[in-house]
Structure 1
Amino acid sequence: MQRLAFPLLIGLLGTAILLWLGTWQLQRLEWKRGVLNEITSTIDGPAEPLPTMIAPTEQRYQPVALTGEVLPGEVHVLVSVKRQGAGYRIIAPFRTDAGRLILLDRGFVPTQDKDAERRVGPAEVTGNLHWPDDRNSATPANETERNIWFARDIGPLAETLGTEPLLVIAKTETPPAPGIDPLPVSIEGIPNDHLQYAITWFSLAAVWIAMTGIYIRRGGFGAVDPEKGTR
């Protein structure tokens, strides 16, 4: 029995660790669901005035309702949209009735419509404030001379279009802009894979304990006794 103690201990210890990791992922799942529910409540909440002082963390996803006009001039940000393929986000300057100039993400157009004429002028917009984090170490530099951007870099966008560094992602635009498909803020792009991780850890725990049992049966009860032969 002594020679079985160590593999049995390793088997139980490994199983306990894997079960703990699975349980931890379930706890993370509940936490993430709470975060996503909170974000959804913010996105769908009542519209608030545009902030005069910018605080990205506190104001992220803040709903807004704007009345004013879409101005000429726009920036094209290259994106890929599920079930639609490659295209561009249209970022345009928007002047509110109060005279503020901000950035407006009007939505998506297919690649072939990049340089098409689009409706400008008076509009009512509902949407959400956002400070996108599109850029990473692999993101190419924007090709501003061709009006092809690879990230919604709010500072450079505001400088290019002569606006405040404040971006509203449109949910609706009235009257609608033909050819532009709004891409409103949502939780769709926020990953929540904790359930899959939990299943993986619990599956590994089951495999670990099964392999421990097989090892003990083969290495313990199937061992060769020099005096008595094979048991």
Structure 2
Amino acid sequence: MFYRWRPLQSAFRASFAHARRRPQLLLPRRSYAQRLDADDSVLTSEWHRRLLSWKTLGLFAIPLAAFALGTWQVQRLKWKLALLDDINDRMHRRPIPLPLRVTADEIDRNEYRRVLVHGTFDHAAEMLVGPRAMEGEPGFIVITPLVREDGSRVLINRGWIRRDLRDQKLRPDSLPADPVTLVAFVRKPPRQNSFTPMSNPQDNDWFSIDLPRMARFSHSQEVLLDAIQPESVSSLLHDSRLGIPIGSPLQVDIRNNHLQYLITWYVLGVFTSAMLIYKLRKPPTAAARVKRMRDRAGRFL
């Protein structure tokens, strides 16, 4: 009885074997060169997709921003150098008499300009700003109103004294009663720091040069002049010992770090550009990779 089913089994096995061989007929084997070309096309498409991604655009923004900031610092450096030249030129011009009534426009026009001012100090309205240190020694800045010929007042930054000479009785030589003629230069008031405590005029506790409040307290014009210190070292030592305020030097300390800033930004731009070029470089072809692998293998054989 089983022999009747044998032809059917043989036909079924033949058809099943034919079905298993059919995919091999539809997908012929590719050559080695064809497989390399297919790998190159996949790598190229992935590289193009990586070039057009949002991540790549974000990486492009870093060197562009660095170069833009470096160029901005170049402009800032030119502006700062021109400003320092202008200030140096103003400070070394011949002193001019200070008008009796000083306006804001004259202060802007003559800032850092040396002026001659004549009058009598009102030591009763003296204001001490501090503490301020000079070469590590604590002290105070002495601000005194100067009464001029017409009765108007301007504020004079006479300079620095030691902390132990705060009391006027300990420094009688620093309290001239006769009229004086000073050589000073015009200064705008420094900016207020939000971390500095509030001053107390009633107790003569001034923590910063608050020009509007000082002018109201001493009934003076809102004009601040910095007395110029003598250039002799012996005069400085003599004044410091007697409690005579040491005036401001004939120079202005304005920071100019724009050269360091522009170098930093340009170096950062070059470094990030090199990283971006390395990361987005086109991948080598499959043939080049095979050749490189063969070369490396040949070194060890």
TM-score, normalised relative to structure 2: 0.63
What 5-or-longer segments of structure 2 have no aligned partner?
Answer: 1-43, 294-301
Q: Is the 8 A contact 1:11 1:212 kept in 2?
A: yes
Specify the code of the residue in structure 2 equivalent to 1:54: T
- 2:264 is aligned, of 188, 200, 203, to 200
Shift in Å, 1:105: 0.7
Shift in Å, 1:89: 0.7
Bigger relative contact order (CA 8 A; separation at least 6): 1
**Structure 2 counterparts to residues 127-166 of structure 1, below 5 A:** 127-166=184-223
Specify the code of the residue in structure 1 equivalent to 2:148: T
Shift in Å, 1:130: 1.9
- 1:120 is aligned, of 176, 189, 193, to 176
Partner of 1:34: 82
Q: Given the superposition, is the C-alpha separation of residues 41 and 154 from structure 1 closer, same or farther in structure 2, using an over 3 Å criterion?
A: same
Paired with 1:79 and 1:220, the residues of 2 have a C-alpha distance of: 66
Paired with 1:85 and 1:39, the residues of 2 have a C-alpha distance of: 29
Shift in Å, 1:27: 2.0
Counterpart secondary structure, 2:97: coil
Shift in Å, 1:25: 0.8
Specify the code of the residue in structure 1 equivalent to 2:207: F
Counterpart secondary structure, 2:271: helix
Counterpart secondary structure, 1:208: helix
**Structure 2 counterparts to residues 91-130 of structure 1, below 5 A:** 91-97=143-149, 99-115=151-167, 116-117=170-171, 118-122=174-178, 123-130=180-187
Q: Given the superposition, is the C-alpha separation of residues 144 and 215 from structure 1 closer, same or farther in structure 2, using an over 3 Å criterion?
A: same
Q: Is the 8 A contact 1:107 1:181 kept in 2?
A: yes
Partner of 1:67: 118
Q: Is the 8 A contact 1:64 1:128 kept in 2?
A: yes
Shift in Å, 1:133: 2.5
Q: Is the 8 A contact 1:169 1:184 kept in 2?
A: no
Larger % of helix: which?
2
Partner of 2:29: none
More moved, 151-160 vs 194-203: 151-160
Q: Is 1:181 aligned to 2:246, yes or no? A: yes
Q: Is the 8 A contact 2:142 2:159 kept in 1?
A: yes
Q: Is 1:25 aligned to 2:73, yes or no? A: yes
Answer with 1 or 2: which has the greater Rg: 2
Partner of 2:51: 6
Shift in Å, 1:204: 0.7
What 5-or-longer segments of structure 1 have no aligned partner?
Answer: none
Partner of 2:141: 89
Paired with 2:137 and 2:265, the residues of 1 have a C-alpha distance of: 35
Partner of 1:211: 275
Shift in Å, 1:184: 4.3
Q: Is the 8 A contact 1:103 1:163 kept in 2?
A: yes
Counterpart secondary structure, 1:80: strand
Larger % of strand: which?
1
Q: Is 1:49 aligned to 2:97, yes or no? A: yes
Number of residue-to-residue matches in the alignment: 225
Q: Given the superposition, is the C-alpha separation of residues 79 and 39 from structure 1 closer, same or farther in structure 2, using an over 3 Å criterion?
A: farther
Paired with 2:184 and 2:103, the residues of 1 have a C-alpha distance of: 17
Counterpart secondary structure, 1:142: coil
Counterpart secondary structure, 2:128: strand
